[in-house]
C-alpha cells in the first residue's frame, strides 16, 4: 500500500463541491442538472435544490473513486 499519494476529496460523491452533476437523457438530448450532496458541503447549499438519492450517491462515489485511481 502506498499512501503517499494525494488522498483525494473528503467526499467522494461530490468531490467536496457540495453538488453532483447528473445527466438526463430526453429524446436525443442530454441534459445536465445538479443535485445537492448529502455531505456537509451539500448542506450549505439552498434547500430548494433537491438532494441526491442515497443509491445514486453511492454510484457517484464509486465512479469518482475509480476515476481518481485511474488518474483522470
Ligand atoms: Zn459531498
Please report the pLDDT score of residue 4 as a whole number. 47
Residue 30 lies in a domain: yes
Residue 66 lies in a domain: yes
Residue 52 lies in a domain: yes
CA distances from 30 to 21, 23, 27, 56, 67 (A): 12, 6, 8, 18, 22
Please report the pLDDT score of residue 71 as a whole number. 81
Alpha carbon of 64 to ligand 1 centroid (Å): 11
CA atoms in the 13 A half-sphere facing the CB of 24 = 8
Q: Give the global pTM.
A: 0.79
Residue list, CB under 5 A from ion ligand 1: 11, 13-14, 37, 39
Alpha carbon of 35 to ligand 1 centroid (Å): 10
User: What average pLDDT does the segment 36-49 reach?
Assistant: 93
Q: Using one digit for the tens of pLDDT, what is the confidence trace for 51-67? A: 999 999 999 999 999 99
Please report the pLDDT score of residue 46 as a whole number. 87
User: What average pLDDT does the segment 65-70 reach?
Assistant: 94
Domain count, the chain: 1
Alpha carbon of 27 to ligand 1 centroid (Å): 30
Residue 9 lies in a domain: no
Residue 10 lies in a domain: no
Residue 14 lies in a domain: no
Task: Give the residue numbers spanning the domain of 36.
Answer: 19-70
Residue 47 has pLDDT above 60, yes or no: yes
Amino acid at each position: 500500500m502506498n499512501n503517499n499519494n494525494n488522498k483525494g476529496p473528503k467526499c467522494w460523491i461530490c468531490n467536496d463541491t457540495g453538488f453532483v452533476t447528473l445527466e438526463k437523457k430526453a429524446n436525443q438530448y442530454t441534459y445536465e442538472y445538479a443535485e445537492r450532496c448529502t455531505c456537509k458541503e451539500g448542506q450549505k447549499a439552498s434547500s430548494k435544490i433537491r438532494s441526491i438519492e442515497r443509491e445514486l450517491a453511492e454510484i457517484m462515489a464509486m465512479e469518482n473513486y475509480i476515476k481518481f485511481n485511474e488518474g483522470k
